[in-house]
């Protein structure tokens, strides 16, 4: 098992991340022993697949189950959870244990930040995406007014338990979803990118080695430690995400990770047009994205999804779209484009790709 300590440079607090077999069954109970009251927060998919095992490991702990799915990442679910926490009479010495994917972690982390102005929380990510990305770094949020992650807070969990046992029940689409974020990390780290290229056949076969998961967690933790509140370096983790979020909003049948892979392809092509780039590197990156995707899927017309890029939180001016684009190994640029230019070029890129 690998242990990673995430300590923010400007803060005294730290978050410990356990990666590997036994993280859930051995390490989590040890951490929870010091809390007199606990509430488990999970979703209906995890409860169906893992509920019995969770009770075997953690005993008779109250459980609040939300309906599974991004469409339930709402204020209604948040306040239902807060109500359950109050009904269980949790106090500041209590803790919330989030067992699930990114939606569970986002809502649970926000609820823990709000309840009594903050109680301890622990994350047990059960999807590949949550293990390598959303459980690390303390970002929490709900979607509001049709906009992703509009209401949220930064709230680091006390500890994260990334156990590969949960990945055994993931469908292929969810594995591909997590691979999208792993490829994004590779685009930002020269060393990690070379590792991904060397193991591309495993990734294309949706076979994800445990050591590669730990490497991705360590990379993201290193970025967050330097810039927890996304004022500088952490913005790099938005690579590919402006276009990804627009595609995700327009085509709800695509997973977040699949859209990140597509967004990375589109924004790499935008980088070619607006920055001095390493063309060989971009070719390798785009090829890797396509392999993991299994090819470019059918997309809605660009005129339908490009306006949704205007809603992205990374934009700094009205009518401007900002993308975090790869330009060379381990190097990115923030590119600000007038919306008309972004929409025209995205349409041209899509016509060539599809």
Tell me the catalytic residues: 117, 139, 181, 220, 230, 234, 238, 241, 245, 256
The burial of 129, by beta-carbon neighbours within 10 Å (0-12 exposed, 13-18 middle, 19 or more buried), is given as buried
- Rounded Cα gap, residues 75 and 180, in angstroms: 27
User: CA angle 167-170-176, nearest 5°?
Assistant: 100
The burial of 207, by beta-carbon neighbours within 10 Å (0-12 exposed, 13-18 middle, 19 or more buried), is given as exposed
Q: What angle separates helix 75-87 from helix 102-114, to the nearest 10 degrees?
A: 60
If one counts every other C-beta atom within 10 angstroms of the C-beta of residue 304, the result is 12
Token pair listed for 202: 């495993």
- Rounded Cα gap, residues 318 and 325, in angstroms: 20
- Rounded Cα gap, residues 18 and 24, in angstroms: 9
Closest CA to 77 of 67, 63, 92: 67
- Rounded Cα gap, residues 251 and 171, in angstroms: 19
156's torsion region: left (phi>0), alpha (psi -120 to 50) or beta?
A: beta
Q: Which of 54-69 are b and which e, b meaning 16 or more Cβ less than 10 Å from the residue's Cβ?
A: beebbeebebbbbebe
Instruction: Spell out the residues 6+ positions from residue 132 whose beta carbon is closer than 8 angstroms to its own.
Output: 178, 181, 182, 185, 213, 216, 217, 220
């Amino acid at each position: 098992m690998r242990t990673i300590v995430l300590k923010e440079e400007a803060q005294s607090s730290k978050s410990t991340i356990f990666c590997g077999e036994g993280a859930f069954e051995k390490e989590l109970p040890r951490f929870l022993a010091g809390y007199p009251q606990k509430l488990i927060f999970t979703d209906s998919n995890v409860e169906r697949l893992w509920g019995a095992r969770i009770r075997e490991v953690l005993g008779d702990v109250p459980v609040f189950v939300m309906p599974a799915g991004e469409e339930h990442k709402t204020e209604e679910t948040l306040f239902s959870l807060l109500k359950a926490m109050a009904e269980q009479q949790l106090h500041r010495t209590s803790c919330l244990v989030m067992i699930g994917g990114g939606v569970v972690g986002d809502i649970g982390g926000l609820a823990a930040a709000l309840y009594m102005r903050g109680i301890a929380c622990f994350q047990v990510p059960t999807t590949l995406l949550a293990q390598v990305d959303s459980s690390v770094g303390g970002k929490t949020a709900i979607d509001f007014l049709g906009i992703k992650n509009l209401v949220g807070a930064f709230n680091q969990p006390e500890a994260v338990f990334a156990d590969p046992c949960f990945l055994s029940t993931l469908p292929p689409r969810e594995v591909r979803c997590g691979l999208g974020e792993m490829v994004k990390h590779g685009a930002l780290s020269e060393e990690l990118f070379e590792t991904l290229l060397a193991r591309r056949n495993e990734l294309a076969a949706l076979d994800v080695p445990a050591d590669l998961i730990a490497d991705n967690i360590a990379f993201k933790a290193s970025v967050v430690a330097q810039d927890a509140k996304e004022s500088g370096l952490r913005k790099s983790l938005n690579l590919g995400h402006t276009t990804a979020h627009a595609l995700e909003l327009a085509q709800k049948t695509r997973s977040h990770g699949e859209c990140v892979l597509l967004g990375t392809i589109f924004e790499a092509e935008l980088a070619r047009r607006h920055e001095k780039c390493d063309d060989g590197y971009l070719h390798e990156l785009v090829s890797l994205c396509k392999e993991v995707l299994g090819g470019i899927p059918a997309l809605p017309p660009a005129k339908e999804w490009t306006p949704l890029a205007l809603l992205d939180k990374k934009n700094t001016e009205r009518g401007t779209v900002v993308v975090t684009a790869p330009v060379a190994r381990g190097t990115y640029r923030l590119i600000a484009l007038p919306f008309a230019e972004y929409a025209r070029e995205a349409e041209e890129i899509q016509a060539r790709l599809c």
